[in-house]
Amino acid sequence: MSQPLLQVKDLHTSFPTESGEVRAVNGINFSLQRGRVLGIVGESGSGKSVTAYSILRILDNPGKITKGEILFEDTDIVKLPQHQMRQIRGAKISIIFQDPMTSLNPVYTVGNQLTEAIRLHTNRNRQQAQERALEMLELVGVNEPHKRLKQYPYQLSGGMRQRVMIAMALACEPDIIIADEPTTALDVTIQAQILELMQELKEKLGMAIIMITHDLGVIAEMCDEIIVMYAGRVCERGTADEIFYNPRHEYTKGLLRSIPKMTASKERLTPIGGSPVDLLNMPKGCAFAARCDRAMKICLTEPPEEMVINPEHRAACWVNVKEGAMAQGGQHNG
Amino acid sequence: MSDYHPDQIPQKKPFSLQLDVSKFEPATAAEKEQHDIMRESTTFFKDGIRRLFKNPLAVLSIVILLLLIVIIVVAPMIVPYGYSEVIRVNGQRDRSVTNLRPFTYSELEQKAIDEGQDVFPHIFGTDELGRDYFVRVIYGARVSLAVGFFASLIVLVIGLLYGSISGYVGGRTDIVMMRIVDIIYSLPDTLMVILLSVVLDQVLGDSLKGTILASIGNNMISLFIVFGLLYWVGMARLVRGQILSIKTNEYVLAARALGAGAGRIIRKHILPNCMSVIFISTALQIPSAIFTESFLSFIGLGVQAPMPSLGSLANLARGGMQVYPYKMLFPALGICLIVLSFNLLGDGLRDAFDPKLRR
Amino acid sequence: MAEHLLEVQGLKQHFPIKTGFMKTTMLKAVDGVSFTIDRGETLGLVGESGCGKTTVGRSLLRLYKPTAGSIKYHGEEISDQNIQGFRKQMQVVFQDPYSSLNPRMTVGDIVGEPLDIHKLYKTQKEREDKVDSLLELVGLNTDHKRRYAHEFSGGQRQRIGIARALAVDPEFIVCDEPVSALDVSIQAQIINTFEELQQRLGLAYLFIAHDLHVVHHMSRRIAVMYLGKIVEMAAADDVINQPMHPYTQSLISAIPIPDPKQARERHRIVLQGEVPSPLKVPSGCAFRNRCCWRQDICAEQTPELRELAPGHQVACWNPQMPK
């Protein structure tokens, strides 16, 4: 296997507040290969967005990365000084934010914002930057690109704005695009357009994508590999098929059971009981234990380590150990 | 991240997991509940107060204001001089008791002390008419604070009423009411006070003599009237703005859907939610009123002599500033202290209670 | 046939919007909507942003004064005069659990407010008991009565909102996107709560949402809205499995399926273009600019809802009959 493009090792990020320390990310690891789409699934409070912001080091004050390494092309970017980090942001690693309404500056034209990104990272002069901006708008399927360059964000619809965001992210041909809930704020039919666009662009330009979302449908459509996060930790990681057809963490199983599916019969849904964990009062042991139907005593005291299910699949859940032991016991007895 | 295979437990790593089979028993519901802790309950108010007391400047200003109030209340009981009382020693008029420096005595007083009498020291000295300055400053502070409170109260009541009607009713009523506010806003306040006091003088003449109002003088009454006429507009705008923004909240819509009438909605849903902003604004209005009064007294339009106010004391002290600087110093310091403390307190309140600033 | 619980005919809700100096355009948020709901039934109302579904809900409850149309509850026409009485029978649960509860009121006050407004108790103890039973009904701990709304999670707050709606013992609840703002794992809890309550109390729902999965799960019938009009209305399974209106078809195909194999295999109809602004609704059929099966007639005449199969109504000149 070739050298991964991005490696996150034991990342810990927290926010010291007056009520205590909010531990948003608690030791996650993952790696991203060139040209692959990695999906990070989780609900609110899982730490998925904070992970993205940690990679780009754009955490809101007072957030801090308290531990861990992020290796991008063999350099640990956690330790990089800001001026070097700026050369990576936008140029090597870009981000698309969730809400296109607020992530574009309302007082500058679309053209202005696009060319800003281009001129910051490449040596083009204004004329060349304009041409490049036009190219990008066409690439992302914005109609009447010449007209759009002179328009302000409020004159564009949500889908159009998101396309402009994508164009800005792609303008400098980054190696990695981080998409933080890129379609959550959009209507379903527009979402379909944007996802299709992202697929096309991935084929064409070959960049790697980190897709962060809570929508399991989007994950299933877009992603090659998936990690499931809960309370700042990775519960489970694997290929899309493994996660959806062979979930091995109780949280993942719970999530898959609780979504209504259009083809299924109208039985009662099986929700996950309880409420999301309070990041200010992290419990000992597995963060999911209080809500887990199959919680065992060990789950309350020891945080589970990630266990190998098969070469493409790992899960951090003690239930697997129990099942493994039982299987083994069966073998011995049988 | 260990390469851990669940089906190879005992062979591969016998010690990495103390395999205590009992630990794999299902956890009971009680055990799980302990896992799930809920934080202790706080109301919005308690939260804010707690935050307020973490702010050192706010705490300092509260302490200063409390001390001041204590002194103002207690001091006249201890100090035996009246604010308009020209000091007599043994019933005798004492020429030399004027313009004494702090903690000095006049000749006659000195003689009395030597004879064994107790003469209360003049903590701030005396003024040019032989009145104890400390008492005058204390009374001046009383007047300033009283004016500050009452003027702010007037502003609060009128502004709250006007603003809530305008904000809640909306539509054309709101537009008309706000245009009236705009007009009033543009009137020059000092000019109005002057005009009004002249008019009042003519109109009321001596009719108020003998009542309490006479002691504060026509100027003060006109000041209150002007406050009532002009200064509430800022509060009205603020209240209206708050109501407009709170009106859009879904819980107001929910209350309507439940069948609540306008009165209930305003009382229970809108006002409680803008109380903190109004409270803070009032707290900041007090120093502004005190300052205005001091300024008017300074230019001679303030309380009627002999009632002192900090501003009028400062004015009187202006002439002798070179020779008796302390006479300017004490009232000026008083004004600064009061105004500064209220401002800091108001700022502290805003920081503590403003939900937008909360993390 | 027994009378319908709720009968809506030709509901229109237009808002005047200032579009220029001295110029006002009518925003036709709801432009002629008719449907019925029976006792104990759930009608799902689905559509994207700007289609008017939330406005339908609010006009039903007379939170906006309808521009035109009639709303009959138990056969009786609702007007400004008698709406107060109907408020005890028709209630609402809102979308955002964070803004639909007054942050300065305790849970006990919030849930008890409808009891206070309509004077539904005689003694204080009676009120307490009612509040307790409501909290238990929605699965909340009665100890939490004295706490404030902001101390609870989204799902719990939504339960508080439901308890509040149930306080007046209604027969019909407008559920305005009640789970959209919640996490996936909590959505299922709240959906179950709604269903259990429906079974226990015989409630009828107008379930408004943009998530077809959820709507299909909850509803017996579904109405699909586009730019202020209902374009298709049928039994839930029929809408999902045999959609006839081109918009419904593309809506269904646009929804991402949480199943990798199906996602890879299926064919998607991706609509071109954007949703037109409700201020400038295209003439004729509002959907024609994005429709790949449009014909000339679609620009000239607005299609009406017609029953093309038993219980299945479609408003289209060129419906795509199922294969």
User: Measured at the alpha carbon of residue A95, what is the angle toward residues A90 and A99, in degrees to the nearest 5?
Assistant: 130
Q: Does A98 touch chain C (CB under 8 A)?
A: no
Mean per-residue pLDDT, C232-243: 92
Q: Cβ distance B278 to B156 under 8 Å? A: yes
> Across residues A31-52, what is the average pLDDT?
89
Neighbours, chain A (3 or more CB pairs < 8 A): B, C
Cα C314 from Cα C190, distance rounded (Å): 31
What's the whole-number mean pLDDT along residues A274-292? 82
Structure tokens at B249: 């909240």
For residue B333, the Cα-to-chain-centroid distance in whole angstroms is 17
Chains touching chain B, criterion 3+ CB pairs below 8 Å: A, C
Overall average pLDDT of the B342-353 stretch: 83
Q: What is the pLDDT of residues A203-259, one digit of tens each?
A: 888 889 999 998 888 999 889 999 999 988 999 999 999 999 999 999 999 888 888
Q: For B328-338, what is the mean pLDDT?
A: 87
Residue A189 Cα, gap to closest chain B Cα (Å):
28
Q: Which of B46, B248, B258, B270 to mutate to test the interface with C (most CBs of C within 10 A)?
A: B258
Strand-pairing partners, residue A69, are A9
Longest dimension (CA), chain C: 68
CB contact under 8 A, C146 and B41: yes
Kindly state the average pLDDT of the residues A59-79.
Answer: 88
Tokens 């929508």 belong to which residue? A215
Nearest-CA distance B272 → chain C (Å):
7
Q: How many CB atoms lie within 10 A of CB B211?
A: 9
Q: Distance between CA A94 and CA A97 in Å, rounded?
A: 10
CA A332 from centre of chain: 43
CB pairs under 8 A between B and C: 65
Best mutation target, A280, A299, A312, to test chain B (most B CBs within 10 A):
A299
Tell me if B2 and A305 make a contact (CB, 8 A cut-off).
yes
Does the pLDDT value for residue B356 go beyond 70? no
Residue to test with chain B: of C84, C94, C102, most B Cβ within 10 A: C102
| Minimal CA separation from B31 to chain A, in Å | 8
Position B97 scores a pLDDT of: 73
Tell me, yes or no, if A268 comes closer than 8 A to chain C by beta carbon: yes
- pLDDT at residue B252, rounded to an integer: 92
Using pLDDT thresholds of 50, 70 and 90, give the confidence band for residue A322.
confident
- Alpha-carbon distance values, A236 to A39, A230, A251 (Å): 12, 9, 9
The residue length of chain A stands at 334
Closest Cβ–Cβ partner in C96, C102, C161 for B269: C102
Q: Is the Cβ pair B4, A308 closer than 8 Å?
A: yes
Structure tokens at B319: 């002439």
| Contact status, residue A84 vs residue A72, Cβ threshold 8 Å | no
Which of C8, C43, C31, C12 lies closest to C239 in space, CA to CA?
A: C43
Mean pLDDT of B296-301: 76
Per-residue pLDDT band at B37 (split at 50, 70, 90): low
Cis peptide before A62 (omega within 30 of 0): yes
- The DSSP bridge partners found for residue C314 are C232, C306
Beta carbons of A301 and B26 less than 8 Å apart = no
Position B11 confidence tier, pLDDT thresholds 50, 70, 90: very low
The verdict on a CB contact (< 8 Å) between B250 and C146 is no
Do C260 and A241 make contact, defined as CB atoms within 8 angstroms? Answer: yes
C-chain CB neighbours of B259 within 8 Å are 84, 87-88, 114, 117-118
| Residues of chain C neighbouring A276 (CB-CB closer than 8 A) | 153, 183, 185-186
Residue from A194, A186, A114 nearest A157 by CA: A186
Q: What is the DSSP string of B113-169?
A: HHTT------TT-B-TTSBBHHHHHHHHHHHHHHHHHHHHHHHHHHHHHHHHHHHHH
Which residues does residue A4 pair with via DSSP β-bridges, in sequence order? Answer: none
pLDDT tens digits, C90-139: 999 998 888 899 988 889 999 999 999 998 888 989 999 999 999 998 88
- The per-type count for chain B, helices as H runs and strands as E runs, is 15, 2
| ipTM of predicted complex | 0.86
Contact (Cβ atoms closer than 8 angstroms) between residue A94 and residue A169: yes
Per-residue tokens: C228 = 């202020």
Tens digit of pLDDT for each residue in C150-179? 888 888 899 999 999 999 999 999 999 998
On whether the CB atoms of residues A95 and A165 are closer than 8 A, the answer is no
Q: Which of A16-30, B16-30, B227-241, C182-196 has the lowest mean pLDDT?
A: B16-30
Here the tokens at position B129 are 């008419």
pLDDT number for residue B175: 92
What the block records as the tokens of B299 is 């230019």
DSSP letter string over A25-45?
A: EEEEEEEE-TT-EEEEE--TT
Give the 3-state secondary structure percentages of chain C, helix then strand then coil, rounded to 5. 35, 25, 40
| Distance separating alpha carbons of residues B350 and B355, to the nearest angstrom | 9
- Looking at chain C from residue 269 to 288, which residues have their Cβ under 8 Å from any Cβ of chain A? 270-271, 274-275
Determine contact: C88 vs chain B, CB below 8 A: yes
Output the pTM of the full model: 0.80
For chain B, which residues lie within 8 Å of any Cβ of chain A, measuring from their own Cβ?
A: 1-7, 9, 17, 19-20, 22-27, 31-33, 35-37, 39, 51, 54, 359
Estimate the share of chain A in helix, then strand, then coil, as percent rounded to the nearest 5. Answer: 40, 25, 35
pLDDT at B297 over 60: yes
Chain B interface disruption, residue of C104, C168, C177, most B CBs within 10 A: C104
B41: three-class secondary structure by DSSP:
coil
DSSP A305: P
The helix (H) or strand (E) run that includes residue C16 is strand C6-20
Decide: B259 and C87 in contact? Cβ < 8 Å: yes
CA distances to B154, B222, B305, B306 from B208, in Å: 21, 13, 15, 16
Across chain A, where does the E strand assignment appear?
6-17, 20-32, 37-41, 64-72, 75-76, 93-96, 176-180, 208-213, 225-230, 233-239, 307-310, 313-315
- The model's pLDDT over B94-131, given as tens digits with 9 standing for 90+, comes to 677 777 777 777 777 777 778 877 777 778 888 777 78
Could you tell me the two tokens for C65?
Answer: 């004064």
CB spacing of A275 vs C156 below 8 angstroms: yes
Give A17→chain B minimum CA distance, Å: 8
Measured between beta carbons, the chain B residues lying within 8 angstroms of A290 are 32-33, 35-36
User: With contacts defined as CB-CB under 8 Å, which chain A residues touch B27?
Assistant: 289, 295-297, 299-300
* Chain B nearest C-alpha distance from A282 (Å): 9
Residues C230, C46: contact at Cβ < 8 Å? no
**C-beta separation of C251 from C215 below 8 A:** no
Greater model confidence, B209 or A66 = A66
Residues of chain C positioned with their CB less than 8 A from the CB of B257: 61, 63, 87, 91-92
C60 vs C80: CA distance, rounded Å = 12
Residue A178 pLDDT: 93
**What average pLDDT score do residues B348-356 get?**
72
Mean pLDDT of B135-144: 86
Q: What is chain C's mean pLDDT, rounded?
A: 88
Q: What Rg value do the Cα atoms of chain C yield, rounded?
A: 21
Which pLDDT belongs to residue B19?
52
Is the minimum CB–CB distance between A306 and chain C shorter than 8 Å?
Answer: no
Q: CA Rg, chain A, in Å? A: 21
Of residues C189, C186, C184, C168, the one with CA closest to residue C84: C168
Which of B39, B257, B260 shows the shortest C-beta gap to C92? Answer: B257
DSSP string, B17-32: S---GGGGSBPPHHHH
Six token digits for residue B329: 């110093």
Give chain B's contact residues with C (Cβ, < 8 Å).
38-39, 41-44, 249-251, 253-260, 264, 268-269, 272-273
Give residue B80's pLDDT band: very low, low, confident or very high (50, 70, 90): confident
Confidence at residue C165, expressed as pLDDT on a 0 to 100 scale? 93
Side chain identity, residue B294: S
Residue C56: closest CA among C174, C204, C188:
C174
Counting every residue, how long is chain C? 323
SS (H, E, C) C88-132: CCEEEECCCCCCCCCCCCEHHHHHHHHHHHCCCCCCHHHHHHHHH
> Could you please report the per-residue DSSP string of C135-149?
HHHTT--GGGGGSBG
**Would you state the structure tokens that stand for residue B222, as one six-digit string?**
């006109």
CA distance A4 to chain B (A): 17
Name the residue among B4, B27, B39 with its Cβ closest to that of A296: B27
Residue B110 neighbours by CB under 8 Å, 6+ apart: none
Are A271 and A43 within 8 A, CB to CB?
A: no
Q: Which helix (H) or strand (E) holds C18?
A: strand C6-20
Contact call for B35 and A322, based on CB within 8 A: no
**C103 touching B (Cβ < 8 Å):** yes
Q: Do B33 and A325 touch (CB under 8 A)?
A: no
